[in-house]
Structure 1
Amino acid sequence: MLLDIKEIITVSMVLFAVIDIVGTIPIIVDLRNRHGHIESEKASAVAGIIMIVFLFIGEEFLKLIGIDVHSFAVAGSFVLFFLALEMILGIRIYKEDQASSASIVPLAFPLIAGAGTMTTLLSLRSQYDAANIVIAIVLNIILVYVVLRSSAKIERMLGKNGLGVVRKTFGVVLLAIAVKLFAANVKGLFA
């Protein structure tokens, strides 16, 4: 276990971009309006547990079905690429089912700890120390909790245009991350 502040910051920024909790404020506000109170503590805790468990058993699960981490990371880079395009262009490639309640589903999973996050965690696991990733997950979950608790205030403060700018900015960051993940792992496919 090697704690590295630079790794923690890098992984935290990657997860922040992928989780895109600020960009999902319009969705969170809509869920709150349709279903009432959002349990911020419960949603944050469940999302954190899902991410940490997947971080440690995800690779073993892949081995069980015969997929190596490099293949998963390259596939994940495509998922991140399309998520980034959605954020930048304002289009929806992935269509989600409508929620019947705003409890754990869809808030904790798949909104916070979704497919993009899971893919990113395994990709990060191939490049960074697990302890640093866990710390980054915890930092992001704290931020998720704060955003969930104050989503109405953030919405009023940023306004519709401000939220759009934040979403597009993190879309570009996520696109760069997708390219980096692809480049770092595609070599491993042919080794």
Structure 2
Amino acid sequence: MNFNIQEIVTAFMVLFAVIDIIGNIPIIIDLRKKVGHIQSEKASVIAGVIMIVFLFLGQRLLGLIGIDVNSFAVAGAFILFFIALEMILGITLYKEDEEEALNASVFPIAFPLIAGPGSLTTLLSLRAEYAFENILIAILLNVLLIYIVLKTSSRIEKFIGPNGIKIIRKVFGVILLAIAVKLFAANIKMLFA
């Protein structure tokens, strides 16, 4: 085992920034209003499992189905782009039926909001630089933080207030849109290079 506190902290901070659970609070609150209850434990565990499995098998899994990391990231950029448009414009592009609404903890919270293309692509990058066990600890720490935020989202909503949520939603929508554009631009170049 090659535990390194600096690697753990760096990997944690990089994943925390990419997952952006604090920035996703408006989306979580909005989803909770649409579907009623979000299963915090289920969403956190599923997101954690997806990230850990991807850490182990990510590149091989994508290679097996003939998809490279850049194509995966471009597809993820489109998803992030449409979520950002919903946040900024206050529209709903995707309407779920009742059965799908019950699974909101899995889609879109666990995937692609938490364990999305950005975080999965980041895991592949971290794997090239850091020891596996340090990245694993960073994932587990992020999952714990995600669980806390999901569990306390209603208290956070009361603290911020409805107008605060609208403002945060628009601001983070623009940030998410910028991340989507950056992810798209960086990876589309690689596809045609």
**TM-score, length-scaled by structure 1:** 0.76
Identity rate of aligned residues, in percent?
49
Task: Give the drift of 1:72.
Answer: 1.5
Report the Cα distance in structure 2 between the residues aligned to 1:101 and 1:184, rounded to whole angstroms. Answer: 33
1:159-170 counterparts in 2 under 5 A?
Answer: 159-170=161-172
Which runs of 5 or more residues in structure 1 are unaligned? none
Report the Cα distance in structure 2 between the residues aligned to 1:184 and 1:94, rounded to whole angstroms. Answer: 26
Q: Which residue of 2 aligns with 1:63?
A: 63
Native 8 Å contact 1:17 1:171 kept in 2: no
Which runs of 5 or more residues in structure 2 are unaligned? none
Report the Cα distance in structure 2 between the residues aligned to 1:183 and 1:40, rounded to whole angstroms. Answer: 33
Superposed CA RMSD in Å reads 3.1
Q: Which residue of 1 aligns with 2:31?
A: 27
Distance change (3 Å), C-alpha of 1:123 and 1:46: closer
Amino acid at match of 1:124: T
Report the Cα distance in structure 2 between the residues aligned to 1:150 and 1:54, rounded to whole angstroms. Answer: 28
Amino acid at match of 1:163: I
Report the Cα distance in structure 2 between the residues aligned to 1:163 and 1:135, rounded to whole angstroms. Answer: 32
Task: Give the drift of 1:92.
Answer: 1.8
Task: Give the drift of 1:15.
Answer: 0.7
Task: Give the drift of 1:99.
Answer: 3.9
Q: Which residue of 2 aligns with 1:179?
A: 181
Native 8 Å contact 2:51 2:120 kept in 1: no
Native 8 Å contact 2:55 2:124 kept in 1: no
Report the Cα distance in structure 2 between the residues aligned to 1:182 and 1:115, rounded to whole angstroms. Answer: 16
Task: Give the drift of 1:100.
Answer: 7.3
Report the Cα distance in structure 2 between the residues aligned to 1:144 and 1:156, rounded to whole angstroms. Answer: 19
Report the Cα distance in structure 2 between the residues aligned to 1:167 and 1:55, rounded to whole angstroms. Answer: 30
Distance change (3 Å), C-alpha of 1:150 and 1:5: closer
Amino acid at match of 2:49: I
Distance change (3 Å), C-alpha of 1:84 and 1:12: same
Task: Give the drift of 1:110.
Answer: 0.9
**TM-score, length-scaled by structure 2:** 0.75
Count of residue pairs the alignment pairs up: 184
Report the Cα distance in structure 2 between the residues aligned to 1:25 and 1:163, rounded to whole angstroms. Answer: 9
Q: Which residue of 2 aligns with 1:110?
A: 107
